[in-house]
Amino acid sequence: MLSQADYDLLRELQHNERYARAYKKITVLLMLHLGQSMEVISASLGISEGTVRNYRQRYEQVGLEAYLQDNYQGYTG
């Protein structure tokens, strides 16, 4: 599923505080790459199997760079 370069980058980003908000998204891809089932991933991360499936599909559709984009906009009051 992942290229070696993508796998290495995700392992690095998984422990980078800048990507803390994307931790689950990163970990889903890593676990899928390592052969874990959607059921195990969803139970381990506390997310639904549908979310795991959506993350996988999003990565396959847009690639790693777009997958990791965080478009969160905080409350500006």
pTM of structure: 0.83
> What pLDDT tens digit does each residue of the chain (77 aa) get?
789 999 999 999 998 988 888 999 999 999 999 999 999 999 999 999 999 999 999 999 999 988 988 776 677 77
Neighbours of 36 (CB within 10 A): 16
CB under 8 Å to 72, separation ≥6 — which residues?
Answer: 21
How far, in Å, CA of 68 to CA of 77, rounded? 27
Instruction: Provide the residue count of the chain.
Output: 77
Torsion over CA: 37, 41, 44, 47 (sign): negative
